Amino acid sequence: MIMLPGPTNVPSRVMRAMLKPIINHRGPEFKELYARILENLRYVFQTKGDVTILTASGTGGIECAVSNIVQGANKILVPVSGFFGERLRDNIIAMGGKVVEIPVEWGKSVNIDQIEDIVKKDKDIKAIALVYNETSTGTKINCLREIGEFCNEHDLLFVVDAISVLGGDYLPVDDWHVDICVAGSQKCLMCPPGLALLSISEKAWSVIEKSTNTFYFSLKAYKKYEKEGQTPYTPAIPLYYALDEALNMIKEEGLENFIQRHILCAKAIYNAIERMGLTLFAEEKFRSNTVIAVKYPPKVSDSTFRELLRNKYKVVIAGGQGKLKGSIFRIGSMGMVTQAEVLQVIAAISMAFSDLGFKLNFDDSIAAVREVFKEK
Amino acid sequence: MIMLPGPTNVPSRVMRAMLKPIINHRGPEFKELYARILENLRYVFQTKGDVTILTASGTGGIECAVSNIVQGANKILVPVSGFFGERLRDNIIAMGGKVVEIPVEWGKSVNIDQIEDIVKKDKDIKAIALVYNETSTGTKINCLREIGEFCNEHDLLFVVDAISVLGGDYLPVDDWHVDICVAGSQKCLMCPPGLALLSISEKAWSVIEKSTNTFYFSLKAYKKYEKEGQTPYTPAIPLYYALDEALNMIKEEGLENFIQRHILCAKAIYNAIERMGLTLFAEEKFRSNTVIAVKYPPKVSDSTFRELLRNKYKVVIAGGQGKLKGSIFRIGSMGMVTQAEVLQVIAAISMAFSDLGFKLNFDDSIAAVREVFKEK
């Protein structure tokens, strides 16, 4: 079992969908498949605007968003509170954009006042780009809606990296005034990795129109070909089939239930980890619903602990990234996660620590999981 | 049955490989998988140099090659003899490069004298980029080796789009002095679409080192992570499994046999089409071994013909692209193609034309296929 912050466990319905026949991506079967996926993606993004699919990882989706706006909105405000915030910042710089950075302590998150202060002083800022759910620290921005409203009032473009969260937490892009939202197939959406998903607002198009610096990621090209029911470049057909099936499953469950299930599982994991006596990395009010970051007790080796977990208890979780390497571990709670997976990961963590000589409150931690699910 | 110039029919061994478990792309299983694929890719590219894999379509592979060299080799000579040559040219321009174009009549191909003349006059040209096998016209460059030798002698970087041909024709990148070669998973290599494959020479690295204008396609990032047995961004794991299995199959068959099978199938199709009384689009000396382009007889509707072929005879082929839309059809003869597929596509084409009232030499065309395979 993999409890990574991506890739995640993929339901067998979704895996098997990849075996459907390879089709002509310029033919009628693809047109039908593509139209259905786009319609269902609109449901997940909660948008009436445009959505599109790229054959690329999430970082490719970010490069797409960035390269399509840097020419039209050159100075961009970027709060940075972790590895993926740094990556977003660096990507904007690589594509020729100017960045105004808000450095945020890892484990915390930006607040609306910091943003307002800077934007009011610097009239050249044309966009705000940020990571909603910082996978490297297990934090989320808890004022995303307010930032969106602020962007809307001040005519700023609002670009949101929601790669590790779309479907796992609330993010109605139209209501929250998100102009470009980027998600990945291999996180909450229960698909294999390989597709990046974007929503694009009407307001974003006026900026995108000015872009000439990308070809593979040109949103104008995607829009042009979409009129024919096609993608401009050959799509990864098996992954489209997988996404189609996963979106069908989300519709069957209902988006609200799907999000609530993520919230419940995360709550149970947080509850259990604290009851176990371990320390969470993220400050409470910024805790992510999809990535749970936990501090190692002193003198525990990350590689020893995670190898034990993997080899003896068959549970794969992630270590720290960037400057957090070795000091935290991260549990991904995304996609097809239920009480069963939560119990398994909590039990495995308890037992592995016990093997390493730590006396944690095993029974309490299991009880903590059950309490949360009973409440429901 | 799809006889497209990509995507192509995928063997069931390769399809089933996609169902292997989703793994941690930062873990030991991936490391092993990745190392094996890279080793086998070196076999197919016939290189001792670096190879890499991108989660992207072939055009993403081209954007990668271009964005990694335009800063170090800004003025690039590009022969253009079809839709994909135009795309390569436009991609270089989009990434900020200067292009010196050699316009070539569609259906023909550039010769070495044209290249020598221009390079000798313009000392600012630092690279030659071209499409080896022009999918839109069914032509190939028949002096690729000579161009490579010329580049080697004149210290020019040599970038080759071999998306629709690697594995289907001779292309030993080290021997032919190709510095960056781009291929796609969904053509001759018998995989689903979604991966671009690149070989990179030692000489290319000195130019790549100067690139700062891409992030997702940064070859420096790929090289850095490869040391840990990883990709910098989440790879499309099921497609890696598919590629692994397809490369195993190519090794089992042997690269020389694999290429020879492509040559034989193309020869049989060319022979049959001519015997049928139809006219080929490409001039004889420039004919591709993987894409066969055929002119429609007067008054045949492309959509009527190909729909008939698809609905009645269950064979999917491609129409024309760009300015050739409606005037030619194209047969892809790639990957798992054998005498059986060739006979099926030739029979289907004969019968569809017969349904449309054309009297073609059906028996002769089938005999023409058999003659070629008997020769062997």
* pLDDT per residue as tens digits for the range A319-363: 999 899 999 999 999 999 999 999 999 999 999 999 999 988 888
Tokens of residue B88, six digits: 């390569």
Mean pLDDT for A294-303 is: 95
> Which member of B192, B214, B318 has the closest CB to residue A238?
B192
Q: Which domain holds residue A350?
A: 255-375
Whether A77 has a pLDDT exceeding 80, the answer reads: yes
Query: What percent of chain B stands above pLDDT 90?
Result: 97
Residue A7 lies in a domain: no
Whether B376 has a pLDDT exceeding 80, the answer reads: no
Q: How confident is the model at residue A248 (pLDDT cuts 50, 70, 90)?
A: very high
Contacts of B16 in chain A (CB under 8 A): 19
Return the CATH number at A343: 3.90.1150.10
pLDDT value at residue B361: 85
Burial of residue B358 (number of CB atoms within 10 Å: 0-12, 13-18, 19+)? middle
pLDDT value at residue A360: 84
Output the average pLDDT for chain B: 96
Mean pLDDT for A75-97 is: 97
> Which member of A22, A91, A215 has the closest CB to residue B63?
A215
CB contact under 8 A, A215 and B94: yes
Contacts of A6 in chain B (CB under 8 A): 234
Which residue among B224, B253, B282 closes a domain?
B253
CB contact under 8 A, A59 and B216: yes
Same domain, A216 and A163: yes
> Which member of A192, A234, A242 has the closest CB to residue B186?
A234
- Cα distances (Å, whole numbers) of residue A360 to A225, A281, A314, A349, A354: 57, 18, 20, 10, 7
Q: Which residues of B103-142 are buried (b: 16+ CB within 10 A; e: fewer)?
A: ebebbbbbbbeebeebbeeeeebbbbbbbbbbbbbbbbbe
pLDDT value at residue B360: 84
> Which member of B7, B10, B27 has the closest CB to residue A234?
B7
Q: Which residue of B has its CA nearest to A89?
A: B215
pLDDT value at residue B354: 93
Mean pLDDT for A163-167 is: 98
The complex's ipTM?
A: 0.95
Which residue among B222, B253, B284 closes a domain?
B253
* pLDDT per residue as tens digits for the range A35-48: 999 999 999 999 99
* pLDDT per residue as tens digits for the range A99-137: 999 999 999 999 999 999 999 999 999 999 999 999 999
**Helix or strand run (H / E) with residue A78:** strand A75-80
Number of domains in chain B: 2
pLDDT value at residue A311: 96
Same domain, B25 and B142: yes
Tokens of residue B109, six digits: 């191909």
Same domain, B309 and B289: yes
Half-sphere CA count of B189, side-chain side, radius 13 A: 32
Contacts of B193 in chain A (CB under 8 A): 25, 55, 234-237
Strand A157-161 versus strand B195-200 pairing type: unpaired
pLDDT value at residue A375: 75
Q: Which residue of B has its CA nearest to A310?
A: B27
Mean pLDDT for A217-246 is: 98
* pLDDT per residue as tens digits for the range B57-108: 999 999 999 999 999 999 999 999 999 999 999 999 999 999 999 999 999 9
Residue A260, min C-alpha distance to chain B (Å)? 25
How many cross-chain Cβ pairs, A to B, lie less than 8 Å apart?
A: 184
Same domain, B238 and B267: no
Whether B120 has a pLDDT exceeding 80, the answer reads: yes
Q: What is the rounded distance in angstroms from the CA atom of residue B181 to the CA atom of residue B339?
A: 30
pLDDT value at residue B375: 75
Contacts of B8 in chain A (CB under 8 A): 22
Residue A239 lies in a domain: yes
Contacts of A193 in chain B (CB under 8 A): 25, 55, 234-237
